[in-house]
Amino acid sequence: MPVLDRQDDVFVLDLGDGENRFHPDWIAAVDAALDEVEKADGPRALVTAATGKFYSTGLDLDWYFAHPDQHQDYVTSVHALFARLLSLPVPTVAALQGHTFAAAAMFSLAHDFRVMRADRGFWCLPEASINIPFTPGMSALIQSRLTPQTAHEAMLTARRYGGHDAVAAGIVDHAVDENAVRTTAVEIARAQEPKAGDTLATIRTRMYAPVLATLRDTTSLMG
């Protein structure tokens, strides 16, 4: 399960050491960590990271298909997590040390910055290959954070981007050695931490108002 640590004014949320799927309990744990980050005073920033082969593989499809009566509530909670991170009043950096797939790739896009391992691991939106369409909220988030050309390729071809390709496509900001992923993310976060606060939150909510409205619209979750 996710564990929150603090390095001076930088909070580091380790998402786990497995596939870190978006199980309802996992989402609740991330939300609780964000509560702690949000209520803290003064300069601060957030780094999300993981340990092992995966940053995250996204939705917990095993749980999802086993609970058909909870589909709407589950998708609502995922959208709410994206919206919360996108509008968080603190700078955010994703440290992608391993595979980052599907909803986890979208989760990474809700951060301000992304650092990826250069030599191994892929960032991928596989929905076209696994016959699961993007929700309107997911589409809005992806298209707000990627160039039209990259969003088109990533969403329609399910391309797997390695670190250097992801930098070239504008998906991530840096591709570095494995042992530098988290430290680089913390350095970026530390440089941004004085900006935390209400002004940052207001800029975010105005900049991404259409995306946030779509993510929070529970009347047409699946389109």
Averaged pLDDT, 180-201? 98
Cβ(12)–Cβ(5) under 8 Å? yes
Question: Does position 62 have pLDDT exceeding 90, yes or no?
Answer: yes
pLDDT confidence of residue 220: 72
pLDDT confidence of residue 223: 65
- Please, which pLDDT band fits residue 186 given cuts at 50, 70 and 90? very high
Cβ(183)–Cβ(133) under 8 Å? no
**Strands of 45-49's sheet in order across:** 3-7, 10-14, 45-49, 92-96, 113-117, 174-176
Averaged pLDDT, 68-72? 95
Give the residue among 138, 132, 124, 40 at the shortest CA–CA distance from 81. 138
**pLDDT tens, residue by residue, 126-156:** 999 999 999 999 999 999 999 999 999 999 9
pLDDT averaged over every residue in the chain? 97
Averaged pLDDT, 187-193? 98
pLDDT confidence of residue 219: 85
**pLDDT tens, residue by residue, 33-59:** 999 999 999 999 999 999 999 999 999
Cβ(50)–Cβ(104) under 8 Å? no
